[in-house]
Structure 1
Amino acid sequence: MTTAPRKRTILAVDDDQKTRHLLKLYLEKHQYVVQLAHDGASFRNEFERYKDDLILVILDVMLPDTDGFALCQMVRNRSAVPIIMLTASSDETERIVGLELGADDYIGKPYSPRELLARIKAIHRRTGMADAAGAPRFLRFAGFCLDRLERTLKGPDGAQITLTAMDFDLLRIFAEHAGEVLDRSRLMEQTRGRDLGPMDRSLDVQISRLRQRLGDDGKQPALIKTVRSSGYVLSVEVSASHE
């Protein structure tokens, strides 16, 4: 008995009807299934209905009955599905709040549908990475076990640690390059597929959140260390294996 392929379903919430319509038309041309919501209540209903099929959630920050931050937190508490947030604000604080709550990327409004599609594809290239070219499936360090195929992380006590798609990609890069100082621009390009702006703190927020996931002291980290004026480094030994 064969298993039916999983639908490539995206759930998007935006209170502007024209924006929703255009987004749906554009993404469906690129073979995505798009479900729409116009406010927080309808989004929650659609999320419950389609959560097992979702490969991405798109959240507008400003909504009539709630905000995208509350929805982001709700989704992240229940799922590791990638989240892109849409914001009309140029305020960096707003974007940082979204990342701290578990968003994987953000796009400023108004936005180009082509840019949105590029961001979606970039996220799915990263999250769709399997055990390519026979590379070892498991990366182990300091009692942790990172499964590159299942995209999961187990702690020293054997319990699974919840990671967002961005958390996982960042940790995988560190583990694959343990002991190597990785500059911020390189990390930004490899995890977000774009250049790091001069005032962009999103990567630093992401690393701070990843340290929290690992129980790594932000003031005196033992795992992911800051190298002043250079970048970051995973400073523990990593072993790789297929089992």
Structure 2
Amino acid sequence: MLRFEGVLQKMPTHLRDQVHYYMNLGVDLIHMNEFLDKEIHLQFLKYECLNCNKDKKIFRQGFCYDCFYAIPQAGDWIMKPELSKAHLDEEDRDLEYEKKVQLQPHIVYLANSSNVKVGVTRKTQVPTRWIDQGAHEALEILEVPNRYLAGIAEVALKEHVADKTNWRTMLKNEIEDVNLEVTRDQLKQYLPQEVLPYFLDANTETNIKFPVLAYPKKLKSLNLEKKQHFTGKLVGIKGQYLIFEDYTVFNVRSNEGLYVSLEV
């Protein structure tokens, strides 16, 4: 039996013929694809905030309450790019950090995981962001020089296309292929004038395959804090979810900051 222990963090990924997933427990990087069709035991041991490393109940995004409302990594502009102000030299929580993150190339994209949605990510996060959302196809439609411009483009487009993923539909693989290039061209008319010079009219779709042996017909979401431990056969990984044979699914990203043991 193999046993690992550490604090859960978002699984790093690598796209080859299919997505390769690695469980990040701080010290160990565990290639999870190798454990498909094997029984896995997960146990919640304690909390460990990803910022202060203290055993304090996790509030959001892997951070305790105090850290979430203090650190720049959890500023409102993270979830709402249109609130970015570093390009105006205005500070939210830490201007140096905000300039580093906000003042770099960002991509506005279309992705299809449960339905076609619009999203924003740093250019360095392509295709990682699409993988994390469980998208089987995605397309870059804008490359802009800062996060603010990406944000105002997203705000304009989400009046005409979704900006959220239906995680249940994504995990059941109840999807249909859409021609994202046609959708891109249809949406161009709704973009703000200031982002039109950055429109990408010649890009083609990226297609993504996930390591899934069987998709669940119904879903049971695992709350490891309440249940404390779980054992099941791993039959797939999609987005940031582990999929088990009994239709239990576990969202690794939404459980960041939990200190766990993992046995195979």
TM-score category, normalised to shorter length: under 0.3
TM-score (norm 1): 0.23
Which of 1 and 2 has greater Rg?
2
TM-score (norm 2): 0.21
RCO higher in 1 or 2 (8 Å CA, sep ≥ 6)?
A: 2
